[in-house]
Amino acid sequence: MPLTGEYVPSQWDWVSEQVEAYERSGGTEANTLFDTGIPIIVVTSMGASSGKLRKFALMQVEHEGEYALIASKGGDPKHPGWYHNLIAEPLVEIQDGPAPRDYITEIVTGEERQAWWDRGVAVYAPYAEYQEATDREIPVFVARPVTA
């Protein structure tokens, strides 16, 4: 059940350019965070306010076919815009390679959050610095595949 509707590219050119290159190439181009070599995934969500499709790249924090979506926003005091989209509509598409798949997201807490947070920090150590820079607990969503 893929998401449908009008796609509105990110207002940040580097995000929209990375998403476009990643999708156009089936994940063979623009598939890392800048020049770090850290793999990324592309997430498609439904805009909570606009009702339009939104796409963004996140670190690839994968475990047993599930993904952590870490709402760090670089340690900003506010959640990223996509956080609100996932709260309003937890169905997303994640592309990790040639084709997107459907996932349901949920915020995790307690020990489950800690396990996913630790995986995230293992992939991208600056997450720990981002948490220190903000008073909010950075939310961690887990995306689980939709099974038919």
Range of the domain at 126: 13-145
Residue 139 lies in a domain: yes
Whether residue 142 is predicted with pLDDT greater than 80 in this model: the reply is yes
Question: Could you report the per-residue pLDDT of 89-111, keeping only the tens digit for each?
Answer: 999 999 999 999 999 999 999 99
pTM: 0.94
The residues, any chain, with a CB within 8 Å of residue 110's CB and separated by 6 or more, are: none
Residue 4 lies in a domain: no
Residue 2 lies in a domain: no
* DSSP, res 73: G
Residue 55 lies in a domain: yes
CATH at residue 78: 2.30.110.10
Residue 43 lies in a domain: yes
Overall domain count for the chain: 1
For residues 104 and 145, give the distance between their C-alpha atoms in angstroms, rounded to a whole number: 6
* DSSP, res 7: B
